[in-house]
Amino acid sequence: MGQVVNLRRIVNPPAAFGTQMQGRRKRRTWSIANRPQIDNLPHNARIVYGGELDFTCNICGAANSGVEELGREGALCAACGSSMRHRSLVAVLVHELFGVALPICQLPVLKSIRGLGLSDTELYARVLADRFYYRNTYLHREPVLDIADPGPQEPHALDFLLASEVFEHVRPPVERAFENALALLRAEGVLVMTVPYELQGETKEHFPDLSDFAAVTLRSGAALVNRTAAGELQLFSDLVFHGGRGSTLELRCFSESGLRKVLADAGFAYVRIHAEDYPEYGIVHQESWSLPIAARRRPPESNRALIRELIERNWDGWPKALRHEQDENRRLHDELAERTEWVRTVERRLMTEIEDRTQWAHHLEAQLADRTSWAQRLDQQVKTLEEHLRRILSSRWHRVGRLLGFTPRRFD
Ligand SMILES: [Zn+2]
């Protein structure tokens, strides 16, 4: 299992901090100067991660150690080459599907889950195709799918749609691309995506009137020629290209609020920005922007049918973590049963004791009744004796005796 060694996040360090840090090896600082400002933090705040990261790749399962170069496109897996962005996208996908971010290589084969990728990297496309009924698509080669104009596709068929660094390159209007994405998803389906975005302001559309266009290479550099729908010719220079094949010209710069709005307008009522770190998988976000996003028609339900299917299909392939959880549940259940039994025993013992005491009280009561009747009988006897004595005292012979002077002492 991956471990974080000496990972620290320091916000707004004291002035002397920078100089202290300079002399140390294995310490790096990332300044956010000239970057979008983090909410609620002073402008000169810094986010600093120091130390090395040990992690297990959640795509290929390889153990990595001593990784220093963190960052969205960094923290590369030595085995498969995945970056933090790749791993966080996959972690979010698995989390959205199963409610827990397990390494995808530990998942069983589940061909009933249908997914589609928009120009996904082969890094995880292969692993996804092994696990799920998944198909990767491209803009410029087979199988082709242009999310701006997908053509005839089976509607509402997908459990998930992946789009990493795609929507900033899709030709306008980008709203239509998000609507098309929604149309491909089942009612419970999820769009998992990454795009670069800023925290403040609105989405900036670089070429809002793009219609009939081409990127051309002039002697002075790359330029974009466009004829608008109204027939006007436009020429743009200072283009921003992103690395990778296909259409990589940056057409817009999203803002977080702009993204939320365009998703909501398209019908994605549930949008979740996944800011969680998974250091055990080498996912330690260095920024609070451009994070992976999950979007759905409505909030996710607990996906019981899917989880049941997981158990039924491949118990052996069931990840240890979940099995451990099941064992723990069973243990708690047994403990509860044990304690309930103990409570019942105590209850039984108490009931017996109460019964004993009640009997004893009844017995006492009976004794008391006996003694009362005995006392009453005694009283009666005394009265009889007294009567008898009175009669003796009043007898004639008694009076004679008294005259002779040998009477006993008087009783009355
Ligand atoms: Zn890997």
| Tens digit of each residue's pLDDT, the chain (412 residues) | 333 333 334 333 333 333 333 333 333 333 333 333 344 443 333 344 556 889 999 999 999 998 888 889 888 999 999 999 999 999 999 999 988 888 998 888 888 899 999 999 999 999 999 999 999 999 889 999 999 999 988 999 999 999 999 999 998 999 999 999 999 999 989 999 999 999 999 999 999 898 898 888 888 888 889 999 999 999 988 888 876 544 488 899 999 999 999 999 999 999 999 999 999 999 999 888 999 999 999 888 755 566 666 655 555 555 666 667 777 778 888 888 888 898 899 899 999 999 999 999 999 999 999 999 999 999 999 999 999 888 887 777 777 777 777 766 555 5
In this structure, which amino acid lies at residue 320? K
pTM recorded for the entire structure: 0.64
Q: Give me the amino acid identity at 322.
A: L
- Expressed in angstroms and rounded, the spacing between residue 78 Cα and the centre of ligand 1 is 7
pLDDT at 287: 86
Q: Which residues contact 130 (CB under 8 A, 6 or more apart)?
A: 109
What pLDDT score was predicted for residue 411?
A: 53
* Residues in Cβ contact with 212 at an 8 Å cutoff, skipping those fewer than 6 apart: 226, 227
Please report the pLDDT score of residue 409 as a whole number. Answer: 58
* Bridge partners for 50 per DSSP: 8, 27
Q: Which of 182, 200, 192 is nearest to 253 (CA)?
A: 200
* CA dist 107 → 80, 82, 101, 111, 294 (Å): 18, 18, 11, 12, 20
Q: Which residue is associated with the tokens 């996959």?
A: 90
* Main-chain phi, psi angles of 203, to 5 degrees: -65, 135
Helix (H) or strand (E) holding 304: helix 304-313
Q: In what order do the strands lie in the sheet with 233-236?
A: 212-218, 221-227, 233-236
* Cross-strand partners of 273: 293
Give me the residues near ligand 1 (ion), CB cutoff below 5 Å: 57, 59-60, 62, 77, 79-80, 82
Q: How far does residue 59's CA lie from ligand 1's centre (Å)? A: 5
What are the distances in angstroms from CA 67 to CA 84, 101, 252, 277? 11, 21, 33, 16
Q: Report the distance separating Cα 91 and Cα 247, nearest Å.
A: 26
Q: Which residues contact 230 (CB under 8 A, 6 or more apart)?
A: 209
Ligand 1 centroid distance, CA of 123 (Å):
8
Tokens of 306: 């899917």
Q: How many CB atoms lie within 10 A of CB 80?
A: 19
**Token pair for 321:** 């973590």
Of 88, 251, 236, the residue nearest 169 (C-alpha) = 251
pLDDT of residue 9: 40
Whole-angstrom distance, CA of residue 248 vs CA of residue 240: 9
Q: How far away, in angstroms, is 312 Cα from ligand 1 center?
A: 28
Ligand 1: distance of its center to the CA of 76 in Å?
Answer: 8
Task: Please tell me the distance between residue 5's alpha carbon and the centre of ligand 1 in angstroms.
Answer: 19
The pair of structure tokens assigned to 327 is: 């064992």
Q: How many Å lie between the centroid of ligand 1 and the Cα of residue 62?
A: 5
Contact between residue 137 and residue 144 where contact means Cβ atoms under 8 Å apart: yes
Cα-to-centroid distance, 19 and ligand 1 (Å): 35
Centroid of ligand 1 to alpha carbon of 64 (angstroms): 8
Which pLDDT value is given to residue 32? 35
- Give the pLDDT confidence score for residue 231 in this predicted structure: 93
CA-based nearest residue to 186, from 96, 113, 120, 286: 113
How far does the centroid of ligand 1 lie from the alpha carbon of residue 77, in Å?
5
